[in-house]
Amino acid sequence: MPWDEKFECMPVEELRKFQLEKLKETVAWAYEKVPFYRKKLDEKGIQAGDIQKLEDVSKLPVTVKNDLRDNYPFKLCAVPMKDVVRVHASSGTTGKPITGPYTAEDLDQWTECMARNFHAAGVRSDDVIQNAYGYGLFTGGLGFHQGAGRIGATVVPTSSGMTERQISLMQDFGATVLCCTPSYALTIAERAEEMGVDMHKLPVRVGIFGAEPWTVQMRQEIEDRLGIKAMEAFGLTELGGPGVSYDCKEQNGLHINEDHYLAEVVDPDTFEPVPEGEKGELIFTSLQRRAMPMIRYRTKDITRLHREACPCGRTFVRMEKLSGRTDDMLIISGVNIFPSQIESLLLDIPEVEPQYVLVVRKKGYLDHLTVRVEARREVYDAGPEKEAEVERKIADHLKGHIGINIRVRLVEPKLIARSEGKAKRILDERPKE
């Protein structure tokens, strides 16, 4: 039985009616409260009253990440700050983050969505959940924390990092559930092997992983190495964080919380809906969020939707595991990184030229990033010691702003191929699947 049978198993016709009503409310709310949306809706000559059926959502204007950047920090906020009880954030395409404000009601709904995620993964009130998603501005830590609290389980809020301590705490506190990014799950597995800890002997039996791409093969590897069932969570800051969709015991696609999010899959060039079941870009409209309603948000994530009934009984549509993105966003150690963001940080460093490439490689199942940047002539000529010093300086600067360790390699001036059109900033050396 799901956590919230009424919604999770609602007959499809009833669900569509509910969505239509909420869609109209959201559009009216956004129009009334957010000048950005009012302008866009007026430009398209459409208002809430023009929405007669769910498919009319395609008449609404789309919203993109840059709209959030241009309205930084709170110009898309539909409520006065006194009604905002929390703000989360994630990396944007430049130095400024994307903000996600919540009212108390938004937080409560988010918590419910996360409770559904936990429950679908088979987690119950007698579980001990080690939450190794980063706590802080990132939505992973507190999102999972709240959901775990709602189902009444014991939460161990370790946050990410300090891997050896994670493993000792799992042993000491007897965690039965592990929540973190899939890449971190593998780091834990690797470290445990080095420490001589047999994870198969610990009580941990299920993990809920997400926030970055991972393949079915990687899921299998995590399951084998940690001796657990690896379940999934999906979401994004712009829509309130994780809790947008989650998989059930069938592990055959992620159920979208359709009472909260209206999903479309479109052709990324034309924005026309793709035929049922075909791949395209995922677009979401929030249906109940108050602080930051989102109309047709382009996620840039690529997937397809399955509407056939799921044996688990949930009627919510399923999205297939993501198969890529339509933009150049990289996700390294669970952190979203845009080449433009690295570029603006490199430009702060006087010892290098603004000529760089981001080399992405795969080590095992993990993506690793190396920034190759050209040294200025006098730095290069000063020799290896100077080079190492500048590399450290850049790595510290990147860490200070992005939060993760990124390898930096200075190269000789003029070594990086000059662009003859669109600069190719990413050298993707990951094997193609």
C-beta of 26 vs 245, nearer to ligand DLL = 245
Rounded to whole angstroms, the Cα distance separating 391 from 178 reads 35
Instruction: Restricting to residues 341-370, name those near ligand DLL by CB under 6 A.
Output: none
Contacts of 55 (CB under 8 A, 6+ apart): none
240: phi then psi, degrees, rounded to nearest 5: 105, 0
Report in angstroms the alpha-carbon separations of 11 from 1, 18, 53: 15, 11, 17
Query: Three-state SS for 288?
Result: coil
Is 158 an interacting residue with respect to ligand DLL (CB under 6 A)?
no
Instruction: Restricting to residues 88-117, name those near ligand DLL by CB under 6 A.
Output: 90
Query: Three-state SS for 352?
Result: strand
Report in angstroms the alpha-carbon separations of 280 from 206, 232, 264, 387, 427: 31, 21, 9, 44, 24
C-beta of 299 vs 355, nearer to ligand DLL = 299
Binding pattern to ligand DLL, positions 207-226, x when CB under 6 A? ---xxxx-------------
C-beta of 149 vs 174, nearer to ligand DLL = 149
Binding pattern to ligand DLL, positions 257-296, x when CB under 6 A? ----------------------------------------
Considering only the stretches 56-64, 106-114, 233-241, 381-389, report the one whose residues sit in contact with ligand DLL under the rule CB under 6 A: 233-241
Is 132 an interacting residue with respect to ligand DLL (CB under 6 A)?
no
Please pick, from the candidates 301, 351, 353, 374, the single residue that binds ligand DLL as defined by CB under 6 A.
301
Please pick, from the candidates 51, 76, 115, 233, the single residue that binds ligand DLL as defined by CB under 6 A.
233
Is 232 an interacting residue with respect to ligand DLL (CB under 6 A)?
yes
C-beta of 188 vs 236, nearer to ligand DLL = 236
Question: Per the omega criterion (within 30 degrees of 0), is the bond before 73 cis?
Answer: yes
C-beta of 242 vs 339, nearer to ligand DLL = 242
Query: Cβ of residue 400: shortest distance to ligand DLL, in angstroms?
Result: 19
Query: Cβ of residue 89: shortest distance to ligand DLL, in angstroms?
Result: 9
Query: Cβ of residue 203: shortest distance to ligand DLL, in angstroms?
Result: 23
- What does R_g of the chain's alpha carbons equal in angstroms? 22
Is 242 an interacting residue with respect to ligand DLL (CB under 6 A)?
yes
C-beta of 133 vs 356, nearer to ligand DLL = 133
Query: Cβ of residue 380: shortest distance to ligand DLL, in angstroms?
Result: 36
Considering only the stretches 236-244, 307-315, 348-356, 425-433, report the one whose residues sit in contact with ligand DLL under the rule CB under 6 A: 236-244
C-beta of 241 vs 411, nearer to ligand DLL = 241
Rounded to whole angstroms, the Cα distance separating 46 from 125 reads 46
Report in angstroms the alpha-carbon separations of 35 from 30, 51, 100: 8, 20, 17
Q: With beta carbons less than 8 A apart as the criterion, state whether 335 and 369 touch.
A: no
The footprint of ligand DLL on this chain (CB under 6 A) covers a number of residues equal to: 22
Is 237 an interacting residue with respect to ligand DLL (CB under 6 A)?
yes
Q: Which pairs count as long-range contacts for 402-405, CB under 8 Å and 24+ apart, including other chains?
A: 402/91, 402/335, 402/337, 402/341, 402/342, 402/345, 403/335, 404/332, 404/333, 404/335
User: Could you count the other beta carbons within 10 Å of the beta carbon of residue 382?
Assistant: 15
Report in angstroms the alpha-carbon separations of 41 from 87, 109, 227: 26, 27, 51
Considering only the stretches 20-28, 76-84, 162-170, 231-239, report the one whose residues sit in contact with ligand DLL under the rule CB under 6 A: 231-239
Helix (H) or strand (E) holding 20: helix 12-33
Contacts of 201 (CB under 8 A, 6+ apart): none
Binding pattern to ligand DLL, positions 136-155, x when CB under 6 A? ---xx---------------
Contacts of 213 (CB under 8 A, 6+ apart): 322, 324, 331
Positions that interact with ligand DLL (CB under 6 A): 90, 133, 139-140, 210-213, 232-237, 241-242, 299, 301, 322, 325, 331, 336
